[in-house]
Structure 1
């Protein structure tokens, strides 16, 4: 393969960006420590992945949770370094270290509630936000995802399916250790944490892609620009059945603008074809949205 005479120059990451990443990863790891030691562990609730295994191991052995969190994640840190690079591995090592130390320091802090349902709900919220922050800034607090990526290459199952299978097995094991009521509370906590991770990563300003097919495309496009302040692009389409030329409106909006856009379409052309999809990342052009960082 012919090599370019102009090699790509990689920009060095500034000290400010490194410190910002480290502070947010530390903050996220501390939140996870709070969720584990103040809500989950005292109420016999576990999380999925290596964290769940660590909670069970600490309960059975009497050894501090932080020890298992650190030791059990070490092999996956090595794998993460090989598969995903030094930055990811160092960020994960930092996050896991902070989380492990945090659980040790918080172990003697009294629980906030004796109600396992409240512990599952609020612990799940706090844990999900913490994990989401760490993931958003390039780290991880659990080796399960790394295992799933490796298994995915040699199996017909997706990464998400593998993670779900592993976590269901771990969460089910809580039934034998703590009883089945606490296993069900653990499932509630896991579901809430899962949703909060998505919300934290994507934010309330999650982007949506919109396609509209209408004879009144110009009126709809003008209304979207005027009332939502969003740019639109007119695409040329052809009906597969009729063979007629059609104009397709394409635009990007935020989650909070979806209801207003549907109202605009309903007012101007109730018969219009409207499709809305989720988008995880938008860059370039004139699209602007608020971001966490």
Structure 2
């Protein structure tokens, strides 16, 4: 217990405001306001050297990461990582206009926000460009797999939990097909929603998906998949992993046979983050 207290007392966090990179693309004032990241680091970190950085991405996308205690994140911090926890535009708690700016722009606006946050962290000396990993689940996994495709030289390693990798194949088997329409089309998705997607729908879904950038990926990737997931059925992540393997990209798949979307059973949660730590240590240290 004393060791735990010592580790936790050495951690500190800061809230950083990140200016939107291209304000001219914003259709509302709220969408042009800076978004926020939570930066977690250790007081014992040497001033002349940055710890490896893990970019943490929440799901939803309309949820939010908080500055409250998280066991898994405390673990990753305790083994020598700084954390950049990004509340990209579309996250809860930053106003309705910022929230509504994301539907119709997934795979672009949110990806660009994360890249802007990373560049900001590098620019102010919080991260070394050669020691950056990325981690996310669900929509955070969608962003993780998008990022390693759209910015293939940016990341030393990646880990994705039940990631959305291919909306075109997911829409017919997920328990939230309307999500695919709304997030891809924006407000027009409410009108376009159908249980029988058109060729136009499927083309758009594919273009919004990480699978469309698979040819550029070279980042070693850990996939963590709940076999009982009805939200993002396991075939989505497995297809992506097989495509990486076909390309010769190093990939590892861990399947949790009794877990659903969150992979939150205590033993599974423990094994998930233990394996993430091992994977990142292999490539980032």
State TM-score, norm by structure 1: 0.28
- Bigger Rg over Cα: 1
Identify the structure with bigger relative contact order (alpha carbons < 8 Å, sequence gap 6+).
1
- Indicate the structure with greater strand content: 2
Q: TM-score, normalised by structure 2?
A: 0.28
